[in-house]
Amino acid sequence: MRKLVMAAALALPMFGVPAMAQETVKIAYIDPLSGGGASIGEIGLKTFQFIAEELNAKGGLLGKKVEIVAFDNKTNPQESLIQAQKAIDAGIRILTQGNGSSVAGALTDFVSKYNERNPGKEVLYFNYAAVDPVLTNEKCNFWHFRWDANSDIKMEALTNYMKGTPSIKKLYLINQDYSFGESVRSAAKKMLAAKRPDIEIVGNELHPLLKITDFAPYIAKIKASGADSVITGNWGQDFALLLKAAADAGLKVNWYTYYAGGTGGPTAVKQANLNNQVFQISEGFANIDHPSSMAFEKALRAKYDFSLFYPRAVNQMRMLAAATEKAKSLEPVKIAAALEGMEFDVFNGGKGMMRKDDHQFFQPMYIATLGDLTKKEPFDEEKTGWGWKGIAKIETAQTMLPTTCKMERPK
């Protein structure tokens, strides 16, 4: 009897741990929390935690609480793989990441190989911001889903707007030196050559990612080139410091951007006095007249001292909830199957769709400009008194570009 009691006591922790683990659904947030990308990573983490609180207030995922667990990857691909393995070792089966397509490329390969070797223990990779087109083309795989528009989709929208702007005569390209920056500049050259061959590209430069502290030499080149407009995919401190240098040099050109709304960006725009001269392509912004997204924005700003940079993150998490309900399961393979082809009412209004062919999400896109607010626009950015104002909307159907993905699905 004594031996039976001891055996039962030893067995209790073995049965107890899985039962406790089932009380929460943990999602690994793998992004920079130190180094040059830390300010962006911290805001992303708090945003995901805020969205998790929203889901938990509505019952979580199939009645289980959602918990966001942070893993610092220092914007480094190799470190990201170490952190991904730590997350998996801790029993986490959903990973999310966004900052850096070089990181995303490493993660999607890692997840695909891990799942091949560990049937029945698969993990999902949810990409909320890494936009290199290769991720849903040559590198596409069943376990990767992207909620941000890829850089080609964004450039298609930007150049469609720019082709109707006759004042653009001379254009400078400046981007970060990695796969995303390369995709921005190559798409810009190709699309403008087709749509506005009269525009002269007077500079085409790549610089190290998140390592430049003084962009004055780069701004001097832009100034000397005679450019009237700049296209940049720079994000984080690489955008804010670029604009700071422009302000110091008195450079007054129009900026066509992907991420001017990121941390420090609006402040730099205001300091450069570029009123309605900085344009951003995105899936949404604070001042879209849509009651539910405005209510969310107001609640987020009441808790944190920043705006919603990632409407796509809200779409991602809400679609995860919808997929678990549809699948009646928390198993990654069933969630993935439920997400394929899913149509969804997106955060800022309108219809979105997760394309089954390549797991690229499509949604309405907006071009907005940052400048002095009117009374109709309630939200400013970074307490500058300047906010985003929409100047063009691209409907979902007009954002769809073809894919070369050849998806292999699990049997």
Whole-angstrom distance, CA of residue 406 vs CA of residue 356: 11
Q: Output the six-digit token pair for 204.
A: 């085409």
Whole-angstrom distance, CA of residue 275 vs CA of residue 269: 8
3-class DSSP state of 2: helix
pLDDT at 21: 43
Q: What's the average pLDDT block by block, 10 residues per block, for the chain (411 residues)?
A: 40 37 87 94 97 98 98 97 98 97 97 97 98 97 98 96 97 96 97 98 97 97 98 96 97 97 95 97 97 98 96 98 98 98 98 98 98 92 97 96 96 81
Whole-angstrom distance, CA of residue 91 vs CA of residue 28: 10
Q: Which residues of 69-79 are buried (b: 16+ CB within 10 A; e: fewer)?
A: ebbbbbbbbeb
Q: Output the six-digit token pair for 393.
A: 């909307």
Q: What is the pLDDT of residues 289-306, one digit of tens each?
A: 999 999 999 999 999 999
pLDDT at 376: 85
Q: Indicate the Cα dihedral angle 197, 203, 209, 210, nearest 10°.
A: -120
pLDDT at 1: 38
Rounded to whole angstroms, what are the CA distances from 137 to 53, 81, 171? 34, 22, 29
3-class DSSP state of 207: strand
Pairing status of strand 170-176 against strand 124-127:
unpaired
pLDDT at 347: 98
pLDDT at 374: 86
pLDDT at 18: 38
CB 361 within 8 A of CB 341: no
User: What domains are defined for the chain?
Assistant: 15-149+293-362 (3.40.50.2300), 152-282+365-398 (3.40.50.2300)
Sequence-ordered strand ranges (E) for 86-234: 94-97, 124-127, 144-146, 170-176, 200-207, 229-232
pLDDT at 17: 37
Indicate the pTM of the whole model. Answer: 0.91
DSSP alpha helix (H) spans, 22-100: 38-57, 77-89
Residue 134 backbone class (left: φ over 0; alpha: ψ -120 to 50; beta: rest): alpha
